[in-house]
Amino acid sequence: MSAKSGHKTLAEKLASCMQHIKSVGFRSFPDFMKQLVIEFPKGQGSATDGPHQSVTQTLRTFLEWGSVKPILDGIAANMTEKDVNRDGLIPDYCISPDIAISPGDYSKELQHTPVGHGVLLRFALPIVLEEIDREANALMDKNSPFHGARTWSWDSLLQLSLDSQQAHAVKNAPVIWSIISTIAVNQGRRGSMEIKEEGRDPWQGTVVALSLLLYLQNKSVALLPQVMGVVLFSCNTNCFIYRLLSRFGISVAYSTVSNKLHELGASVRESLKGLWSRIRKKEVSVIWIYDNIQQNYVAWNQSVANKNRMHTGTAAAVLVMEDVPEGAMDPTELASRLHLRSRLTFEDLEKDINHEHTKGIGEATLLSIWVKFIPCLKNFAPTVQKRFSKDLKKHLLRLRKSQYYPLETSDIDESTTSGAQAVLMDIASQLGLEKEDFDELLVPVAGDLLTVDRIKKLKAYTTTDVTTYARYSWALPWVQLWHMKWAVLRTIFHAHWPGMTGKLLCGLQADCETLGRKNINPKKCDFYSHSDFIFDTFEALCLGALCQGGPTPNILDELEVLLNQKFSPISFNHLSDLAQKVYLRYMTTGAHNAALGDINRPVEVYGQPGSQMEPQHEGVEKFSWNGDRQMANLTLRMRDSLWYYELCHAIVEGDTGASNYGKELLALAAMFIHIFNDKQREAILNNWLVNLTGKAGQWYEVDLLQEHLNFWIKVFFNSRSSAFDSPFLQNVALNITGFSSLRTILEHVLGISASTGYHHKPSKVADILTLAARHKQDDVFTGNKSKSP
């Protein structure tokens, strides 16, 4: 249609607009677009008069994606290859100067992209990069969850939360988050909710990548690298790994962590000051724990000044007491009753033992082993557990998470009386306690038998001193359960390992040979391997006692057949009756005496009795003797193993009253029977165990806690810090709890199982079957007249 008819063509309209744009002062159409889209919003875009509002509304409509996209697509479609200049697309700072690459090299790679894409890249990339800089600056703000503290403390490190960092990034840096997460999320899974793959989380990876990129730009944005550095330090990571990871911004340098240890230690010392204040105000009572710590130093290049040597020192900790009755830790009350210890008699000890409770424990232990191994009895497991937790409980502890504070190590030898005195003075100094503070304090000091002995001697030597502090009357020596268990374990091996002829006898040595456990040394008696061995042999004996030597080699199959034949259906009352018979027949002192022929053997308990032992001199067996020495040895072994087995299981469940072994230590028995009042007895029993997780079934001995702390301290022992009084190791000791807490937090944040890396206990069924065959061969459960070992 012609212009003469009153209608202009499209070309005429566009030409008229271009002329008008130039007539009002714009140099060109690109200049007009620049002023409209860029300069106007920066300047007068917020004005409220009519013309400005009209332009603002027009611009807002134009910039809607539905309007802009067709325009951009049209521009891209009409551009030719010669119109696209890709040189300079990537900023110079984005390319390492160590890499020989020119703009032409990467512009050649971009030739493979469509022309339209190139146009959009040329147009959009500078804008996107400018937005990325703005968002990155927002993420690097000092109040950002990515920002690390200048002065390190455990409070600042433990605040790490990938979820809060992700939320902050999505809100304040949507462009950055979208770019990195787009790279991280699998393209084939973006349409479903199952984006996570086993062991990998793309969003956590995005947060970590963003943290590392920010740290590379600004070293203050270092919370995650700081945490990683401390975790690597707690794992005693090689310095080369540190250098490698710090190169990429994954971790801070080893030297940084090492230098910052004193800052972390300072935060722990502040916590100790708070504890000291609470102690002085009598708001809390605490237990002092200490033990010797040794580490062998091997000099690779030996000289006169550098030789192999054994370093000895002392490590200590403070445990906050829980559930302490008011007035229980009154030193005056305790001092007024100390003279009563001389009243302890054998009758007191015998009276204090609850034989019915011991019998119930023995029967319940048998039941627990049977339901553990015999398939047809597994449905009775809840009933057995209820018997332990309800019917047989003595002093079940309230479930809680224990609070403890490791202290600085020292080079004090605590094995001497003077060493024990120096350790007590050192702990008091670290807690900031003054001598006058001890006038009204009663402090349980926990340790092994050597620790208790040295403190008692110290108190005896200083009994005439003037002040309470100098007399050490405030110190209450307290033997602990883990070393007590170890003492019982040694006793069992000493009593039931026959010696040179043991391979031919029914006993621990024969069982050891049967199982082929070469690491069992009855003289050295390493705790864990030897404890497991006692558990395995005892459980095998408990199953064999129920079977009493059947015809089949598989004792578990035989027991199932036997029980189903004898009891149809099997009831818990049937099992209880069997447990009572087995306990009385094989696990009591009375059974031992009966096996020797010293007393009549009731038919309902022991079966057909043998004849009585004739009068004789002690230790001499006459030819006419009709006892069963092998059976007598077996009953003592099963009795002793039962006591040890129950002591270990009671500790795990948090029951400090289920075992009577402590009563055999006369001094401790005197304290419980005659000296402690009810409140003091309750306070001691409530704090004989610790729980570091707050979960059921995870109670541990107080002295085992110190052993674990010693282990971690020795992990950091090296040639550069080869003395336990060095500032390095002292700061390490103070921060042990922090290291553990940080690793736990990281496991929780990343969803890593806490059991990863721990040794899995193998099934012991094969060991049970092997031992059962040996016991059947030796006919250990059948009483015979005149049978010697």
The 8-class DSSP code of residue 394 comes to: S
Based on the fold, state whether residues 123 and 144 are members of the same structural domain: no
DSSP-derived 3-state class of residue 314: strand
Based on the fold, state whether residues 474 and 498 are members of the same structural domain: no
C-alpha triplet 184, 190, 195: angle, nearest 5° = 70
Residue 363 lies in a domain: no
Query: Residue ranges of the alpha helices (H) in 374-409?
Result: 381-386
Where does the pLDDT of residue 744 fall: very low under 50, low under 70, confident under 90, or very high at 90 and above?
Answer: confident
- Weakest mean pLDDT among 46-60, 368-382, 683-697, 732-746: 46-60
Residues 455-483 pLDDT 10s: 999 999 999 898 999 999 999 998 888 98
Residue 215 lies in a domain: yes
Based on the fold, state whether residues 668 and 648 are members of the same structural domain: no
Distances from the Cα of 239 to the Cαs of 233, 244, 420, 732, in angstroms? 9, 9, 38, 17
Does 505 have pLDDT greater than 90?
Answer: no
Residue 758 lies in a domain: no
Domains in the chain: how many in total?
4
Based on the fold, state whether residues 499 and 467 are members of the same structural domain: no
Question: In sequence order, what DSSP letters do the residues of 468-510 get, joined into one string?
Answer: HHHHTTTEEEEE-HHHHHHHHHHHHHHHH---TTGGGSSSHHH
Does 91 have pLDDT greater than 80?
Answer: no
The pLDDT, as a whole number, for residue 364 is 92
Q: Where does residue 196 fall: left (phi above 0), alpha (psi -120 to 50 degrees), or beta otherwise?
A: beta
The pLDDT, as a whole number, for residue 124 is 74
Share of the chain above pLDDT 90, in %: 25
Based on the fold, state whether residues 499 and 626 are members of the same structural domain: yes
Question: In terms of residue numbers, what domain contains 37?
Answer: 7-86+108-130
The answer to whether 624 touches 786, Cβ cutoff 8 Å, is no
Does 599 have pLDDT greater than 50?
Answer: no
Does 199 have pLDDT greater than 80?
Answer: no
The 8-class DSSP code of residue 610 comes to: P
The 8-class DSSP code of residue 388 comes to: I
Give pTM, 2 decimals.
0.77
Based on the fold, state whether residues 512 and 528 are members of the same structural domain: yes
Query: For 619, how many CA atoms within 13 A lie in the half-sphere containing its CB?
Result: 0
Based on the fold, state whether residues 77 and 14 are members of the same structural domain: yes
The pLDDT, as a whole number, for residue 42 is 64
Residues 480-504 pLDDT 10s: 889 888 888 998 998 888 765 555 5
Angstrom distance (rounded) from CA 323 to CA 380:
34
Based on the fold, state whether residues 624 and 504 are members of the same structural domain: yes
Based on the fold, state whether residues 126 and 147 are members of the same structural domain: no
Residue 789 lies in a domain: no
Angstrom distance (rounded) from CA 421 to CA 429:
12
The pLDDT, as a whole number, for residue 285 is 93
Residues 664-694 pLDDT 10s: 467 778 888 888 889 999 999 999 999 988 8
Terminal Cα-to-Cα distance of the chain (whole angstroms):
127
Boundary (domain end) residue, out of 208, 232, 263: 263
Residues 228-272 pLDDT 10s: 999 999 888 888 999 999 988 999 999 899 888 889 998 898 888
Question: Strands 443-447, 475-479: parallel, antiparallel or unpaired by DSSP?
Answer: parallel
Question: In sequence order, what DSSP letters do the residues of 274-313 get, joined into one string?
Answer: HHHHHHHTTS--EEEEEEEEEEEE--SS--SSS--EEEEE
The pLDDT, as a whole number, for residue 81 is 52
Angstrom distance (rounded) from CA 646 to CA 20:
100
Does 619 have pLDDT greater than 70?
Answer: no
The answer to whether 670 touches 341, Cβ cutoff 8 Å, is yes
The mean per-residue pLDDT over the stretch 564-583 comes to: 81
The angle, 0 to 180 degrees and rounded to 10, between the axes of the packed helices 223-234 and 239-247 is 170
Name the most confidently modeled range: 95-104, 255-264, 749-758: 255-264
Share of the chain above pLDDT 70, in %: 78
Question: Position 499: which residue type?
Answer: G
The pLDDT, as a whole number, for residue 78 is 63
The mean per-residue pLDDT over the stretch 417-421 comes to: 94
Does 752 have pLDDT greater than 80?
Answer: no
The mean per-residue pLDDT over the stretch 693-713 comes to: 89
Residue 374 lies in a domain: no
- Residue with token string 């038919």: 603
The answer to whether 483 touches 449, Cβ cutoff 8 Å, is yes
Does 756 have pLDDT greater than 50?
Answer: no
The answer to whether 638 touches 587, Cβ cutoff 8 Å, is yes
The pLDDT, as a whole number, for residue 354 is 84
Residue 381 lies in a domain: no
Based on the fold, state whether residues 151 and 125 are members of the same structural domain: no
Based on the fold, state whether residues 469 and 552 are members of the same structural domain: no
Residues 60-72 pLDDT 10s: 776 665 666 677 6
- Residue with token string 């590392």: 212
The pLDDT, as a whole number, for residue 532 is 92
Residue 491 lies in a domain: yes
DSSP-derived 3-state class of residue 699: strand
Between residues 756 and 386, the one the model is more confident about:
386
Residues with Cβ < 8 Å from 383, sequence gap 6 or more?
572
Angstrom distance (rounded) from CA 749 to CA 744:
9
Residues 630-665 pLDDT 10s: 888 889 999 999 999 988 888 887 766 554 334 346
Mean pLDDT for the chain overall: 80
Between residues 568 and 84, the one the model is more confident about:
568
Residues 101-143 pLDDT 10s: 665 555 555 555 554 555 566 667 788 888 899 999 999 998 8
Based on the fold, state whether residues 560 and 450 are members of the same structural domain: no
Angstrom distance (rounded) from CA 501 to CA 633:
15
Residue count of the chain: 789
Structure tokens at 93: 């700072």
Residue 361 lies in a domain: no
